[in-house]
Amino acid sequence: MKKCLLLLFLLTYFSSLIWGQETKRALFLGNSYTQSNNLPVLIDNIAKTQGDTLVYSQNTPGGYTFQGHSTNGTSMSKIRQGNWDFVVMQEQSQRPSFPDAQVATIVYPYAQQINDTIEKYNACGETMFFMTWGRENGDPQWAPISTYDGMQSRLTNAYLTMTVDNEAVCSPVGAVWKYVRDSFPTIGLYTIDGSHPSIAGSYLAACTFYAAMYRKSPVGSSYYAGLSPTIALNLQNAAAHVVLDSMSNWHLLDYDVQASYNTTVNLDTVVFSNSSQNATSFEWNFDDGSTIDTTQNPTHIYSQAGNYNVQLIASDDCGNTDTSTVSITVSVINGEKKIKYKEKSLVKCYPNPTSSVLYIKATETIEELQILNTTGQVVWTKKNIASEQFDLNIEDFHKGVFLVEFRLSSGTRIVKKLAFQ
């Protein structure tokens, strides 16, 4: 038993090292469904065991609606405080399942009104809709929601409609709730009233929020909220499966920075086509010792054939980043190298050797110049020269033999061996 506990601790610890510790700030606006068993505390307890932290505040009066929150001074004041990563919105449990015309009047306008305020005061935050669950035996006041499945279906559709209409994200607690009801029918998610969550129901909601907010799995958390390890693990797995395996369904990645790119390799020249999402700045590391490139769609010429792990870091204006690394293979045809040396007369460099200034003249416009040491590592680069002459002060270079590579306006590349004294 002690070995198992030690293994669980090590897995949790090293998982936090691999994924990195994160702190999220969340404001919860809801009612008794959020208030029951203090849902934000449960989320924070799960986060802490995974190496993360939730800083939270809440306003969750019983029976409250979006309409009520839209005119509630406490709710509006908390939104205006700003600096929230997420403002969680949870409507009264029945209203989103009402007839469409009614929902369009008493739910959607107030969701939009609150969301507008969230966006105004939280430029780097997101509205997160809390998809709730259907009542245990449905709601008898209207036939389409008189069963659990019927009520859950309408709740799911309404919350996803609000998510899309408000360019928000969704914590799909109701969808995970249905998965658990179907897969683990003996786990009691409701209290005796058939509406409010039991501790198992609130723990399931907390696992879902952890997965949705941090984009990480709650599986392995050692916090069980008083539940048996078996039940807790089943609920953790359910949340991870429904949330993380289908994040596009809940629009969780729609506004995240996602770094990605494609490459076109032609001998030693690689064209990078940036396909990143929601990013405003970029850093390229070409894995050959060259300087970081910050253009959006760079073209890079490699001096040596080989395999390179090219890394792109994409960022947005809020400091969020994502990294993509792709392995490429660069080949240089020997014939091309021979042509370069035959065309050396196109560029003259003097004096050679030199100890101060290297004077360069070409018969064509020089577009780019690179200096490589004898191991092939790029030690200096100058782009966009756009001139037939260039004077290079070499006083700051180490003494030794270097390869100086020129790219001319015609596309010709020439390499010269020079000595810096």
Q: Which amino acid is at 103?
A: V
Query: Is position 88 within any domain?
Result: yes
What is the pTM assigned to this prediction? Answer: 0.75
3-state secondary structure 199-240: HHHHHHHHHHHHHHHHCCCCCCCCCCCCCCHHHHHHHHHHHH
Q: Domain for residue 255, yes or no?
A: no
* Dist. CA 210–CA 225, nearest whole Å: 14
Using pLDDT thresholds of 50, 70 and 90, give the confidence band for residue 352.
Answer: confident
Q: Which of 330, 350, 370 is the last residue of a domain?
A: 330
pLDDT for residue 20: 62
pLDDT tens, position by position, 43-70: 999 999 999 999 999 999 999 999 999 9
* pLDDT score, position 376: 63
Q: What is the pLDDT of residues 157-186, one digit of tens each?
A: 999 999 999 999 999 999 999 999 999 999
| DSSP code at position 94 | S
What is the Cα–Cα distance from 158 to 195, expressed in whole angstroms? Answer: 18
Distance CA 49, CA 3 (A): 18
282, part of any domain: yes
CB atoms within 10 A of CB 180: 21
The confidence score (pLDDT) of residue 12 equals 43
pLDDT: is 302 or 220 the higher one? 220
CATH number at residue 314: 2.60.40.10
Whether residue 208 sits in one domain with residue 284? no
Residues 204 and 288 in one domain: no
Mean pLDDT score across all residues of the chain: 89
- CATH number for the domain spanning 98: value is 3.40.50.1110
- Amino acid type, 266: N
Q: Give tens-digit pLDDT for 108-150.
A: 999 999 999 999 999 999 999 999 999 999 999 999 999 999 9
pLDDT recorded at residue 7: 43
In a domain, 256, yes or no: no
Same domain, residue pair 174 and 34: yes
DSSP code for 188: -
pLDDT of residue 171: 98
Q: Is the dihedral of CA 268, 273, 276, 282 positive or negative?
A: positive
| Of residues 53 and 357, more confidently modeled | 53
pLDDT in the model for residue 10: 43
Residue 231 and residue 351 in one domain: no
The DSSP call for residue 197 is B
Does the residue 230 lie in any domain? yes
Q: Which of these three, 330, 350, 378, is where a domain ends?
A: 330
Domain residue limits at 114 = 2-250
The reply to whether 365 and 305 lie within a common domain is no
Cα separation, 339 vs 328, whole angstroms: 25
Residues 177 and 232 in one domain: yes
When comparing pLDDT for 407 and 108, which is higher?
Answer: 108
Residue 114: closest CA among 152, 143, 77, 164: 77
Tokens for 377, please give them: 């590592």
- Whether residues 319 and 347 share a domain: the answer is no
User: Is the pLDDT assigned to residue 305 strictly greater than 80?
Assistant: yes
- Nearest Cα neighbor of 302 from 316, 288, 319 is 288
Q: Judge if 199 and 296 occupy the same domain.
A: no
Task: Let me know if residue 314 belongs to a domain.
Answer: yes
Q: Does 3 have pLDDT greater than 50?
A: no
Whether 243 and 368 map to the same domain: the answer is: no
Scan for tokens 């208030």, then name that residue. 35
Strand partners, 413: 407
- Same domain? For 325 and 366 the reply is no
pLDDT at 4 over 70: no
Tokens at 371, concatenated:
């200096």
Whether residues 326 and 341 fall in one domain: no
Closest CA to 218 of 376, 43, 385, 91: 43
Cα dist from 133 to 5, 112, 138, 316, 333, whole Å: 34, 22, 10, 34, 64
CATH code, domain carrying 399 = 2.60.40.3080
How many domains are there within the chain? 3
Collapsing DSSP states into helix, strand and coil, what is residue 46? helix
Q: Does the structure show a pLDDT above 60 at 22?
A: yes
Cβ neighbours around 109 below 10 Å, total: 13
Q: Residue 17 above 60 pLDDT? A: no
Q: What is the pLDDT of residues 256-283, one digit of tens each?
A: 999 999 998 877 888 899 999 999 999 9
* Statement to judge: residues 43 and 107 lie in one domain: yes
Biggest distance spanned by C-alpha atoms of the chain? 94
**Which residues is 300 bridged to in the sheet?**
270
**Count of other CB atoms within 10 angstroms of residue 391:** 9
Q: Alpha carbon 176 to chain centroid distance?
A: 22
